[in-house]
A and B are shown apart, each in its own frame.
Chain A
């Protein structure tokens, strides 16, 4: 029962092969075996959202999966999102608006924010708050986070509109 099993998966664009105990969660695997400590453990039962990672580009609780279940999957953590530059506008907006204090919930918040903006679920404050319903923050009271996401969603839409009209106009 304690025998380790081999898994191969892609994490932040890199193929990783390791041996894991079946009971190791994906979160523990990422943090420990791969030393990607940006994914945080706030509750280990899928209630707080601090452990969110992207699988198939959807936010998933890394604490609610065993690493063995992730064999063959493509995973992206906050580090991957950061290094790719794909959340730079969100990070900047969070920073400018001080949409974080202690920072423990922040990686999970950014994963959720990334998804909300990408899938056009951030077009109103109400929708944003709804999208954040699974991300617990004890420090900010949420308003600054909503402000930051609203700003990015709005800016991206404006950019898309500008690009579209440029394409048409040209």
Chain B
């Protein structure tokens, strides 16, 4: 398994990276490479130019700003477990991180890479959706921010146009009284989830205020289940509310049959998972 030949450049600025990409016939950006390199050595992809963005300083770093946490796209997965700002202000990320692949992958893989690839079975894209994050994108026309709700479009397709770079993730900081849970059913530790999900909810006088519920491995993108959210908003998080939220999944999720599971089984697992996540949130008060 050896990759086809390619040329390689390693720009030190976003501008140079965008330029290098634009000039090539067929380029790919590489950061952590934990998903790209397997694709290259299996010859599933064969760009003529690899633009290594892993040393662009402006894409690194984690900083608090105006109620948002700006997380540089080159932040490596393991940093979600060790960085004090993330642990304090975006704990749902830290909660999901142990499920992401394996320790050595987490030592090199980047948040930006994971979100830009948008594998529907990946944890971090779903967490971005759950948190209502905004993606900071640099392109030929300049810089823009896209809300997570608008970022994930289809299988491996995001709001990123070819040649654009995801430069940073802006995550709203966790508020006082917010509670969350993340879990997945996976065959083995670190495997892509058979079904996974995350919940983050704020409470207002014992009743659910805001809530965002996301699922992974149920479609071609991470999926936010607004109907289930609606079933909870304004209510106490009691057994009745949880059951209504579970039932609401019927209207929003339509996972395909695949070689591992039928659609019916996945729906069943999604219901079970949601029940367990909400139960965990209920008990964590």
Contact = CB atoms under 8 A, between A and B. Distances in A.
The reply to whether A and B meet directly (CB within 8 Å) is: yes
Interface of A: 1-3, 5, 21-23, 25, 28, 44-46, 49, 52, 55, 58-61, 63-66, 68-69, 71, 112, 115, 130-131, 133-134
23 contacts: A1-B5, A1-B6, A1-B48, A5-B8, A22-B8, A22-B50, A23-B4, A28-B2, A45-B38, A46-B37, A49-B102, A59-B104, A61-B34, A61-B104, A63-B37, A64-B105, A65-B33, A66-B8, A66-B37, A115-B103, A130-B98, A130-B189, A133-B189
Given A52-B104, A60-B107, A65 B37 contact: yes
Contacts of A5: 8
Size category of the B interface is 20 to 34
| Most chain A beta-carbon neighbours within 10 Å: one of B37, B54, B78, B190 | B37
A69 B103 contact: no
A69 B33 contact: yes
Per DSSP, chain A at the interface is: mixed
Contacts of B103: 59, 112, 115, 131, 133-134
Interface in B1-26: 1-8, 10
Contacts of B105: 46, 61, 64, 134
A133 B103 CA distance: 8
Nearest to B78: A58
A81 to B, nearest CB: 15
Contacts of B5: 1-2, 21-23
B108 interface: yes
A41 B8 CA distance: 24
A1 B37 contact: no
A23 B41 CA distance: 9
B6 A69 contact: no
Nearest to B1: A44
B2 to A, nearest CB: 7
B137 interface: no
B155 interface: no
Contacts of A25: 37, 41
A92 B239 CA distance: 54
A137 to B, nearest CB: 14
A65 B108 contact: yes
B52 interface: yes
A3 B5 CA distance: 10
B153 interface: no
Nearest to B36: A64
A22 B51 CA distance: 11
A23 B104 contact: no
A39 to B, nearest CB: 13
B253 interface: no
Given A21-B5, A63-B41, A134-B104, 7 more contacts: A23-B6, A44-B38, A46-B105, A63-B37, A64-B37, A65-B108, A134-B101
A129 to B, nearest CB: 8
A128 B136 CA distance: 38
B42 interface: yes
A44 B41 contact: yes
Contacts of A63: 37, 41
A2 B6 CA distance: 7
A26 B175 CA distance: 44
Contacts of A55: 107
A12 B255 CA distance: 49
Nearest to B108: A60
A64 B30 CA distance: 11
